[in-house]
Chain A
Amino acid sequence: DTGVSQDPRHKITKRGQNVTFRCDPISEHNRLYWYRQTLGQGPEFLTYFQNEAQLEKSRLLSDRFSAERPKGSFSTLEIQRTEQGDSAMYLCASTTALAGPNEQFFGPGTRLTVL
């Protein structure tokens, strides 16, 4: 078990560009979550998947954001036409019904900087 991995760890982009992040959950974890964290704040929920189904999206997730989990394993989060306000740490977490109640296991995050 290698834990949750995220790629890239850091991304610097210019305003208006599209970016895509990848998350590989712990194998056999059927639930996958995306969170966003800005400096000095706790993470905020963006969206989550059970297997390949996207079950909930936060109001924080504007139309420029899209997430997929096509085969129920890895997930991607795409941001189109990035804005400076999108600069944040994007965290992925995974869990399974076999884990302890409400336990989620986080990846190291992708730090996005929009210039």
Chain B
Amino acid sequence: TQLLEQSPQFLSIQEGENLTVYCNSSSVFSSLQWYRQEPGEGPVLLVTVVTGGEVKKLKRLTFQFGDARKDSSLHITAAQPGDTGLYLCPGTSYGKLTFGQGTILTVHP
């Protein structure tokens, strides 16, 4: 069973600050997705990374996949209140997504 750990669990920052959240797994990811979930809504897919060492950018968000494909980071530059939400990086087992608790990010104006 793949064990997932996301850190920090909670992050509260001011608008304009930079931040990084982390996702670590006990086993290799075949691929890794990052999702953001706003209160009362379903998770929204942000990115998929597949290759070890891969870096993808989505506007102010930078996603990095570890060389060994067991960890990933999400860096947000100049955070905005619209970035507030629960960030999730599920593992996959036979097509099912397995979620950890995620990182709850709050960006204050």
Name A residues whose Cβ lies closer than 8 Å to a Cβ of B.
4, 6, 31, 33, 35, 40-45, 48, 56, 91, 93, 100-109, 111
Contacts and interface: CB of A to CB of B under 8 A. Distances in A.
B45 A103 contact: yes
A47 B99 CA distance: 15
A93 B99 CA distance: 14
Interface string B74-102: 00000000000010101010111111111
A91 B86 CA distance: 15
Contacts of A41: 99, 101
A48 B97 contact: no
B31 A100 contact: yes
A102 B42 contact: no
27 contacts: A4-B42, A33-B97, A35-B97, A40-B101, A41-B101, A42-B86, A42-B99, A42-B101, A43-B88, A43-B97, A45-B96, A45-B98, A48-B95, A91-B43, A93-B97, A101-B31, A101-B48, A102-B31, A102-B95, A104-B33, A104-B45, A106-B35, A106-B44, A107-B42, A108-B40, A108-B42, A109-B41
Interface string B11-31: 000000000000000000011
Among A33, A102, A109, max chain B CB count under 10 A is at: A102
Contacts of B86: 42
